[in-house]
Amino acid sequence: MGHGGGGAMSAELVEHLFLPAYGSAAAPELGDSAVLDLGAGTRLAFSTDSFVVKPMFFPGGSIGDLAVNGTVNDLAMSGAVPLYLSCAFILQEGTVLTELGRIAQDMGAAARAAGVRLVTGDTKVVDSGSGDGVYVNTSGIGVVPEGVRIGPRRARPGDAVLISGDIGVHGVAVMSCREGLEFGTAVESDTAPLHGLVAALLATGVDVHVLRDPTRGGVAASLNEIATASEVGVELVERDLPVPESVRDACSLLGLDPLQVANEGKLIAVVPGESADQVLAAMTAHPLGGGARRIGTVVPGHPGMVVARTGLGGTRVVGLPVGEQLPRIC
């Protein structure tokens, strides 16, 4: 299970299995999304994601919302304007068609809300016992506006690390309705399309260095990836982390670190320190960035490592989750 968790084991699988096997056919990064130069000034963002969340319906959303918003967000994190989505279903024999219909309706509504079109699809059915319910893959394409150069390698010492709002909400929402893990909390998933927020952010004219939506593996995984890719350190201030009470309670009950819990409607922005306030103002003016705040700084020390200053004045290492904390969270 750990290999699918988005943490260290997932990274190992890519580095030690997929990349060597693909050989020269693979792009060197093979990341969440790729930016492709089509010539004539057209740069295309291309992204893929499969969704296996369990249960398929949860407070605040469904696998259908996630499938659209997740891929829209992967595209948005390269600064692209998302345009077209594919949708491929793998259904277990015996899937209730009304449930499939609800999922498809959620996808349609989410696509309309995000302004993207569902243009191509595929459906496969596997025999009973060879799947559970519905798995959805969406791939997406978008166009990267001229002049936008956002990428995980661009974090620089002195940059500010911003988050668009409360963390850990999606993960706790899904867990809260999973069999045997009822918390009695009323946490709803934060699933949302973030490209509008990204557009507001880019409209400031600030040279945004890195954007990332901290899904599987949470803020911890995203920041570790950025620290590694950019060969910089990241220093968080624990007391500045926006962790809602309900998320804090659920995490302490389960022994989880809110920094490692999935989000589906939040973004991390790494921007030049001197522009942090300007970007924060643009974020907080957007409906999806109302809770935006600065949570840390990019530092030259300890490259590849994320640390958090604790309330007591010490620091702790914020590791990449090793295996999976919360299986099938998206």
* Nearest alpha-carbon partner for 95 in 55, 118, 127, 63: 127
One-letter amino acid at 311 equals: G
CB nearer to a second copy: give 211 or 236. 211
Quote the least distance from Cβ 102 to a second copy, whole Å: 8
49 backbone φψ class: left, alpha, beta (φ>0; ψ -120 to 50) = beta
CA distance from start to end of the chain: 13
Quote the least distance from Cβ 176 to a second copy, whole Å: 19
**63-76 and 195-202 helices cross at what angle (nearest 10)?**
20
Quote the least distance from Cβ 108 to a second copy, whole Å: 4
CB nearer to a second copy: give 36 or 186. 36
Residue 11's H or E segment, with its range, is helix 8-12
Q: d(Cα 185, Cα 132) in Å, to the nearest integer?
A: 27
Quote the least distance from Cβ 196 to a second copy, whole Å: 17
CB nearer to a second copy: give 55 or 158. 55
Quote the least distance from Cβ 151 to a second copy, whole Å: 14
CB nearer to a second copy: give 141 or 232. 141
47 within 8 A of 144, measured Cβ to Cβ? no
Partner residues linked to 123 by β-bridges: 89
CB nearer to a second copy: give 42 or 310. 42
φ, ψ (nearest 5 deg) of residue 129:
90, -5
